[in-house]
Amino acid sequence: MCIMDSSKLRTIDLKVVFLGKEGTGKTCMAERYISNRFLKRQYEPTIGGTFSAKQVCYKDHPIKICLWDTSGSIRYESMNRIFYRSAKAAIVCYDLTDGESWDKAKEWILELRAHERDCLLYICGTKLDLVNENKYLRRVKQHKAQDFASGIGATYFETSSKTGENVDALFETIIADFGARPSNFELSDSIILHEKTSPYGSSCVGCPCWLN
């Protein structure tokens, strides 16, 4: 909640994109953060990309977090490259119980580092609740993932969308890291934002979440 009168301040847009293999829980994490609930329905793969937003504050400055949840299917990988363009932050997810998802996460990470060098990068091991219940389900050692993240300048988290563990902490870190870059606020003052609608039907008001 903003203490100051946020109407006198321009809302800053923070575009965050989810990337990762299908079934890694990207949609569940977005739902947990936006609506604070866990999706219990049968798994349905994301087709293309879906958009959601949440208004937050950083040091009394209003920020709109624009989340793009992308498909984990190989079929839509080329489309995902459109979605991550100009993203301020990327959450690359892998399933702690799925070794193949870790390999795919590293592919996305290397691609992001090559094409979006200024994008804040977060590596997230999902489904922590399963590992907490049975440590033998873990397929990637925590220190291995942490060392990889440190080596490329990324921040590492392990989360559970089912219990909510570390989900808010992840986004609080993203907001703080974004806010620590003065250029993010300076640039927004020089841009007049207009309403845009993506070809997938998600309305995007005042948010650089589509094509720039």
Distance of CA 29 to the CA centre of its chain: 9
Using only C-alpha atoms, what is the Rg of the chain?
17
Average pLDDT over residues 181-194: 58
Structure tokens at 178: 């974004």
Percent of all residues in the chain with a pLDDT value above 90, rounded to a whole number: 56
33: nearest Cα among 155, 150, 130, 173: 173
**Rounded to 10 degrees, what is the CA torsion of 172, 177, 179, 180?**
140
Annotated domain spans of the chain: 6-204
What is the model's pTM?
0.82
CATH 3.30.360.10 fits domain 6-204: no
Average pLDDT over residues 134-155: 96
Distance CA 154, CA 135 (A): 25
Average pLDDT over residues 154-162: 97
Residue 180, CA distances (Å) to 25, 58, 174 in order: 28, 10, 10
Q: Give 53-110 pLDDT, tens digit per residue.
A: 999 999 888 999 999 987 655 555 555 577 688 899 999 999 999 999 999 999 989 8
Average pLDDT over residues 118-130: 97
For the chain, the distance separating the N- and C-terminal CA atoms, rounded to the nearest angstrom, is 29
Question: Would you say residue 128 has pLDDT above 90?
Answer: yes
